[in-house]
Amino acid sequence: MKKFLTMALLLVPTIVFAQDKYYDRNQLPQLSQEILEQSQFEFTATEVPVSKLIPVQTQRVQNLKKEEKRLIKAQQNTYRPLVIDQQYYIIDGHHRYDALTELSIANARVLLVDAPIEEVVEAFKQYRDNTPTYEKVVLGPFEGAVEEVVVVGTRATLMRAVDKQMMADGILSVVDSDA
């Protein structure tokens, strides 16, 4: 699966992952401004073009990008900033990055840490998260076009309602609800 994903990433020019820096999601710390303020690292709260950000992980948490999109739409310029290193590698905020990209937002709010990603990841091991993830599948130009397909069957529900009416001793009107 990883070989296929790597080949797919190389074939799709619209999505760029750092080839020399790759981390599983559970290797990256979940950071906030408060955590950085209590550390030895210098950082700057600023905005940078989304196009300059470099993702380093492919795993995602189910439905987290959808939640981040909702928060970004609702909070606009007050959503939690991404944490990036001095070369614009994303340390924390890959789901927000995905949401910003899909929403075509030009600039991202970031906490720019004045250190390389390797140092930051090593220093904040205690802030790693082991939430179950899935590999992001790259579908080329149709990526993200279909997030979820829900199939709801109504025939069985209607048939149960008719059966209940037929089996009733008197006059009965039955309405079964869909899932």
Q: What average pLDDT does this structure show over 65-78?
A: 82
- CATH number for the domain spanning 93: value is 3.90.1530.10
Please indicate, yes or no, whether residues 17 and 86 belong to a single structural domain of this protein: yes
- Whether residue 147 contacts residue 64, with contact meaning beta carbons closer than 8 Å, is answered with no
Q: Do 83 and 14 lie in a common domain?
A: yes
Looking at the structure, do residues 75 and 131 belong to the same domain, yes or no? Answer: yes
Residue 120 three-state SS: helix
Domain total in the chain: 2
Confidence of residue 143 (pLDDT cuts 50, 70, 90): low
172 or 64: which leads in pLDDT: 64
Residue 110 has pLDDT above 90, yes or no: yes
The string of pLDDT tens digits covering residues 4-37 is 444 444 444 334 444 578 888 889 999 999 999 9
Q: 155 CB contacts (<8 Å, ≥6 apart)?
A: none
123 and 167 assigned to the same domain: no
Ramachandran quadrant class, 104 (left: phi over 0; alpha: psi -120 to 50; beta: rest)? left
**pLDDT above 70 for 149:** no
Do 55 and 17 share a structural domain?
yes
Shared-domain flag, residues 133 and 68: yes
Residues 46 and 18 in one domain: yes
Whether residue 158 is found in the same domain as residue 135: no
Burial class for 13, CB neighbours closer than 10 Å (0-12, 13-18, 19+): exposed
Residues 80 and 158 in one domain: no
Average the pLDDT over 122-135 and give the result.
85
Q: How far apart are the first and last CA of the chain?
A: 35
The answer to whether 124 and 31 have CB atoms below 8 angstroms apart is yes
| Mean per-residue pLDDT of the chain | 79
Range of the domain at 163: 149-179
Asked if residue 165 and residue 127 are part of one domain, the reply reads no
The reply to whether 116 and 135 lie within a common domain is: yes
- Pair (133, 163) in one structural domain: no
pLDDT in tens, 89-103: 999 999 999 999 999
